[in-house]
Amino acid sequence: MKAIDDRRLSKVTPIETPYGPAVEKTFVSAESCLREADVYRRMEGSGLRCAKLLEQKEKSLILSRLFGEDYVSLLARQEREGLDLHPWHSLLAWTISFYEITGLIQNDMNLRNFLFCDSEAVGIDFEDCREGDAGGMLAELSAFVLLYDPPMTENKTCIAGLIRDRAMEQRYCTEESFGKMQEEKLRQLLERRRLKKISRAV
Ligand SMILES: Nc1ncnc2c1ncn2[C@@H]1O[C@H](COP(=O)(O)OP(=O)(O)O)[C@@H](O)[C@H]1O
Ligand SMILES: [Mg+2]
């Protein structure tokens, strides 16, 4: 069966198992596979919504398949249909619980790493997780939101404001430090995008 997202380094392929629909995620290294499995174990039994780790192999994991809309599509849809803040509140609640339960930040807050399933956010992709600053994690989320095409729209600015307010409410950072971290993340993402464009052109 065709992989779900061919552009990434790891490969995610839908499969059928005796436990029901699943995906097999194949990693580039055994280390990233171990890291992701470890995060699934930290979440297990915590009540945090996530896929179920069904089987662990050296370089791949079998995970229960989640059915939902990824947040890149959801954001694009809301640009056409109007802003609904519920999925964003749900995403923030999930991310904050993830940090509190695992003690880790996700460290790759691109919106393809979150699915909206049955009216609730669920995170996926934990191979880059590490200990870190929760304010920085939310500032990265906000920077990603702002830069999806078309960038910096009224909706996106509103979602970024919601993320900033929540980061302050949680006492992860001040408004000023959030602004600085977000600016730095925006700079890094724009630089990464510029380098990608150059490498595609050569
Ligand atoms: N458990 C799952 N159920 C359904 N789709 C998934 C699942 N895990 C991953 N995917 C899909 O595969 C894509 C890539 O998975 P991800 O874990 O983010 O790997 P990568 O490291 O390649 O970004 C996701 O954006 C999502 O669309
Ligand atoms: Mg991913």
Same domain, 104 and 44: no
Best of 7, 25, 50 to mutate for ligand 1, by most ligand atoms within 8 A of CB?
25
What token pair was written down for 116? 């909206």
Best of 5, 27, 74 to mutate for ligand 1, by most ligand atoms within 8 A of CB?
5
Would residue 3 count as lying in a domain?
no
Which CATH number is 137's domain given? Answer: 1.10.510
What token pair was written down for 124? 């996926």
Q: How confident is the model at residue 197 (pLDDT cuts 50, 70, 90)?
A: confident
Does the Cβ of 51 fall within 6 Å of ligand 1?
A: yes
Please tell me the total number of residues recorded for the chain in this structure: 202
Start-to-end CA distance of the chain, whole Å, equals 32
pLDDT at residue 94 greater than cutoff 60: yes
Does the Cβ of 111 fall within 6 Å of ligand 1?
A: no
pLDDT at residue number 6: 45
Number of structural domains the chain divides into: 2
Would residue 145 count as lying in a domain?
yes
Domain span including residue 51 = 11-64
DSSP 136: H
Atom of ligand 1 nearest to the CA of 12: 12
What does the alpha-carbon distance between residue 132 and residue 109 come to, in Å, rounded to a whole number? Answer: 13
Percentage, residues of the chain above pLDDT 70: 96
Q: Is 36 left (phi over 0), alpha (psi -120 to 50) or beta?
A: alpha
Nearest by Cα to 160 from 82, 81, 93, 85: 85
Does the Cβ of 36 fall within 6 Å of ligand 1?
A: no
What does the alpha-carbon distance between residue 174 and residue 125 come to, in Å, rounded to a whole number? Answer: 28
Same domain, 38 and 95: no
Same domain, 146 and 133: yes
Q: Is 47 left (phi over 0), alpha (psi -120 to 50) or beta?
A: left
